Amino acid sequence: MVRVMASGVFDILHTGHVSYLEQAKSMGDELVVVVACDDTVRKRKHEPITPEGMRVRIVGSLKSVDRAVVGKGGDMFDTVREVAPDIIVLGFDQTFDVGELEGELARKGMGGVKVARADECAEDLSATRRIIKRIRSLEDD
C-beta of residue 34 within 8 angstroms of C-beta of residue 6: yes
What number is the average pLDDT over the span 41-62?
93
Which is more confidently placed, 35 or 124? 35
CA-to-CA distance for 138 and 141, rounded, in angstroms?
5
Query: What's 1's DSSP letter?
Result: -
- Confidence tier at 13 by pLDDT (50, 70, 90): confident
Separation CA 116–CA 59 (nearest Å): 20
- CATH assignment of 3-139? 3.40.50.620
Domain ranges of the chain: 3-139
- Within 2-122, strands assigned E span 3-8, 30-35, 67-70, 87-90, 114-117
